[in-house]
Amino acid sequence: MAVQRGGHDHQGTTGRDTAVADSRGGLPPISPTSPGSKLSPAPPAGPSATSSAGTKSPTPDRAPSRTASPTTSGPPSAAPRSPATSPLAGRIRPRSTYRGVATVYRAGVGDGACSYGASDDMMIAAMNTTDYETSRACGAYVLVRAANGASVTVRITNECPLPCAPGQLDLSEQAFAKLAPVSTGRTAITWSLLSPGIPGTISLRYKNGSSPYWCGIQAIGHRNPLARLEVRTKSGWRQLARTDYNYFLSPDGSGCGGPVRITDIYGERLTVNGVVLRPGAVQPTQVQFAQH
């Protein structure tokens, strides 16, 4: 049931269709232990509305900012650790445990609704539409545990539409096999958000078709889920609307080709200069969000 992008079939294995159908009713709702809580091949004329159902209004972030340029040499200076809270988190919050079921799909090369493209690591999953939350879940690392004690860490790269229920994760065959035989197609799980010590830094990419008059911008390789992406305009920083295919849009071209500022769910801000308006090119930076 994972959303398809890039022409690759996303089909369930034997027993999976039944598993998904069963999830229409009776699946335990998402159950955090702490409080809180498709696709278009061509760019739309304007930003798509961001779902806010079941979320709290974001509070202003007060974490220190860092600035870097994709062309600077050497590692960035150590990032100040953000506050222990996560004021910009949506439905998926740190230090919370969620329960549901894991199902399985054929992930092909690993592309999906998050528009990242082919994946080198097939430990990936599709998040149910409710918790996908208009792509807020894209890039999140999640620790999944089965009742038998097995566990696997996956990165969210795709969306699993209805009837995938809140709390449900659709795992690649490779990831599901870490929990149970793929032939079972379904297993009860709990899962929680991680802030892993991954190598590498964040990259930015302008969507194909971007120009000084319209652009879409995407962040790739971020350790923590992304809460905001802003561009600098003549009148100051402008927050861009997020699409369900994980790009942030400037429908009138304002700020396209200028400095970009990204903020994670913990409120840490990173400002990147020197990102050129080169549609489709993945442009590495020298920065990464702090680990939590």
Q: Give the integer Cα–Cα distance in Å for 188 and 52.
A: 28
Residue 242 β-bridge partners: 248
Instruction: Please tell me the number of Cα atoms within 13 Å of 261 on its side-chain side.
Output: 17
Which position has the higher pLDDT, 5 or 215? 215
Q: Given a cut of 70, is residue 203 above it in pLDDT?
A: yes
* Antiparallel, parallel or unpaired: β 203-206 and 282-284: antiparallel
Beta-carbon count within 10 A of 118 CB: 10
In order of 59, 162, 190, the CA distances from 28 in angstroms are 30, 15, 11
CA 20 remoteness from chain centre: 22
Q: Given a cut of 80, is residue 267 above it in pLDDT?
A: yes
Please list, in sequence order, all residues whose beta carbon lies within 8 angstroms of the beta carbon of residue 247, skipping any fewer than 6 positions away: 43, 115, 207, 216, 217, 218
User: Where residue 210 falls among pLDDT bands split at 50, 70, 90?
Assistant: very high
DSSP string, 168-185: -EEEEHHHHTTTS-GGG-
Q: What is the DSSP letter of 196?
A: -
| pLDDT at residue 36 in the model | 28
Q: Give the integer Cα–Cα distance in Å for 181 and 196.
A: 26
| Cβ 78 vs Cβ 123: under 8 Å | no
| Cβ 165 vs Cβ 25: under 8 Å | no
Q: Give the integer Cα–Cα distance in Å for 132 and 156.
A: 9
The mean pLDDT of the chain is: 79
Q: Given a cut of 90, is residue 103 above it in pLDDT?
A: yes
- At residue 269, the 3 state secondary structure works out as strand
Q: Given a cut of 90, is residue 195 above it in pLDDT?
A: yes
| pLDDT at residue 62 in the model | 31
| Cβ 265 vs Cβ 227: under 8 Å | yes
Tokens representing 13? 């294995």
Q: Give the integer Cα–Cα distance in Å for 155 and 222.
A: 11
Q: Could you report the per-residue pLDDT of 58-81, keeping only the tens digit for each?
A: 333 333 344 554 443 333 323 333
| pLDDT at residue 85 in the model | 58
User: Where residue 87 falls among pLDDT bands split at 50, 70, 90?
Assistant: confident
Tokens representing 210? 């971007």
Q: Give the integer Cα–Cα distance in Å for 237 and 8.
A: 38
What type of residue sits at position 116?
Answer: Y
End-to-end CA distance of the chain: 32
| Cβ 230 vs Cβ 237: under 8 Å | yes
User: Where residue 3 falls among pLDDT bands split at 50, 70, 90?
Assistant: low
Q: Could you report the per-residue pLDDT of 126-170, keeping only the tens digit for each?
A: 999 999 999 999 999 999 999 999 999 999 999 999 999 999 999
Residue with tokens 């369900």: 244
Beta-carbon count within 10 A of 34 CB: 10
pTM of the model: 0.74
| pLDDT at residue 226 in the model | 98
| Cβ 79 vs Cβ 290: under 8 Å | yes
Q: What is the mean pLDDT of the segment spanning 26-35? A: 36
Do you know the residue count of the chain? 292
| Cβ 31 vs Cβ 234: under 8 Å | no
Q: Omega before 83 cis (within 30°)?
A: no
